[in-house]
Amino acid sequence: MPRAKIPSQYSPTRRHLLIGGSAAALAAFAQWPGAASAAELDPERFLALSERLTRKDDLSGDIATAMLEAFKATGRADELASLVDGTDNQELANEIVAAWYSGVSPDPDSNDVLTYTDALMWQAMSFTKPMGYCGGAMGYWAEPPAG
């Protein structure tokens, strides 16, 4: 017994299939919504992320702005936005903390020092101070440090 043909109101054409396939490929490469959240990543959100990662609540907004721009220059804006949104990326988190402790730009193509005297390494090494930074009045080094 022959099969009865069921009438269809929609019969796809080759053009429809090509358009649909192209749209699917474009959607895969658009990285949406990651690109949208990267555009929204601002210095305040980066500063909040940095304070959470370093466990410091007194980081400089100016340094955070410069550091965010340096990370964006490395092409990692989407990764940063994902990290802010809660994605686990331990390598990038460690790079952010290292940049705050060293004060050096995370951009390997840059020789910029984002901060020297405010780098967190000086707080971690309380027994010393930045070179060229005055530690007190004349002769302060003659007495042992308090505490």
Tokens standing for residue 131: 């070179």
Higher pLDDT, 147 or 117: 117
**Size of the chain in residues:** 147
Closest CA to 64 of 75, 53, 134: 53
Helix (H, G, I), strand (E, B) or coil at 130: coil
| Residue 118 included in any domain | yes
| Residue 147 included in any domain | no
| Residue 145 included in any domain | no
Q: What is the pLDDT of residue 34?
A: 45
Assess whether pLDDT exceeds 80 at residue 135. no
| Residue 6 included in any domain | no
Assess whether pLDDT exceeds 50 at residue 35. no
| Residue 57 included in any domain | yes
In this prediction, residue 5 has a pLDDT band, given cuts at 50, 70 and 90, of low
Distance CA 103, CA 114 (A): 5
| Residue 18 included in any domain | no
Distance CA 52, CA 94 (A): 12
- What's the domain range around 70? 33-130
Tokens standing for residue 147: 């505490």
| Residue 10 included in any domain | no
pLDDT in tens, 73-100: 999 999 999 999 989 999 999 999 999 9
Closest CA to 66 of 118, 115, 22, 3: 115
**Structural domains of the chain, count:** 1
Tokens standing for residue 56: 């410091």
**Residue 5: alpha-carbon gap to chain centroid:** 58
Determine contact, residues 88/81, Cβ cutoff 8 Å.
no
| Residue 146 included in any domain | no
Q: What are phi and psi of 108, to 5 degrees?
A: -65, -20
Instruction: Give the 3-state secondary structure percentages of the chain, helix then strand then coil, rounded to 5.
Output: 50, 0, 45
DSSP letter, residue 104: B
Q: What is the pLDDT of residue 36?
A: 41
